[in-house]
Chains A and B, each alone.
Chain A
């Protein structure tokens, strides 16, 4: 399944790129952790466990005027439209991949799906995703230009949300992947970037990051942030 899954993910990205949707998208989630291998190719870095979820983040303001029916674009690959939760968030399902659509939550927030009519889907609005849109990197994955959050933003966001997780396993998974990325950034001489992103955070968020690192006894990273 591993190779089929990778090939399918690449085909999805290729179609999104060709149709012009991909330039509006930031890839997050476990596939993002996996693709950071390209960013850290000269460092010791191994991605975390990769799930089937491909999380596509649509930053709030887009000048893209393209209208593409994404479910139809991927239908012949075997993807079907599924609805997640009682709220009815759309996801595209295939035994090897599940594509989810996300947007950063604004204001007080709401559980209601955020409509993305130009792409024929809706999205789930989640807190703290803004941090992932502030600084991004573009990586070439199998010849496709994919936009990912800067690893420093991604790792710190993971530490923040890990503190809000109710399920212990998810909390640990978030922390583990964040720490792997932070260690790789330090070894890539990007400690100052980590510090800069940390300094830009709300003090409450900074506290969550510090708590996460203290729980994990990450002395090296803590030294940079103190």
Chain B
């Protein structure tokens, strides 16, 4: 039993550190998504951001393929990291409840 408890404690410490690290990685990603609008036959880009309850559109005009790719990649990683962060949070809840008993952890 002692061995299992030791492993669970270590895994909880790892998960708590991992939660912080995923939050930091998410904060590093560029905010918002680029959207394309066609106006009078010309394509323009806007950066869509959420500020509290409001959705803000920031005009970007014509942007390079590199910038488009950067925002596309950020969008993919944001979704991936959010999913993994939620998995880590579930693990933390599980590990805490598994370790919670009469003894304090």
Contacts and interface: CB of A to CB of B under 8 A. Distances in A.
A24 interface: no
A167 B6 contact: yes
B69 to A, nearest CB: 14
B7 interface: yes
Contact of B3 (A80, A81, A95, A169): A169
B6 A80 contact: no
A78 B81 contact: yes
Given A78-B81, A80-B25, A95 B18 contact: yes
Interface string B9-37: 01100110110011001000000000000
Question: Main SS of chain B's interface residues?
Answer: helix
Contacts of A170: 6
Interface string B52-87: 000000000000000000000000000011001001
B11 A173 contact: no
Nearest to A170: B6
A80 B22 contact: yes
Interface residues of B, number: 21
Contacts of B5: 169
A173 B84 contact: no
Contact of B21 (A49, A80, A172): A80
B2 interface: yes
Interface string A149-189: 00000000000000000011110110010000000000000
Contacts of A94: 84
A175 B90 CA distance: 31
B93 to A, nearest CB: 13
Interface in A77-121: 78, 80-82, 84, 93-95, 98
Nearest to A81: B21
Contacts of B6: 167-170, 173
A89 B64 CA distance: 37
Interface in A50-94: 51-52, 78, 80-82, 84, 93-94
Contacts of B17: 82, 84, 93
Contacts of A167: 6
Top-6 shortest CB links A-B: A169-B6, A95-B87, A82-B21, A169-B2, A173-B3, A80-B25
21 contacts: A49-B7, A51-B10, A51-B11, A52-B11, A80-B21, A80-B25, A81-B21, A82-B21, A84-B17, A93-B17, A93-B21, A93-B22, A98-B14, A168-B2, A169-B5, A169-B7, A170-B6, A172-B2, A173-B3, A173-B7, A176-B3
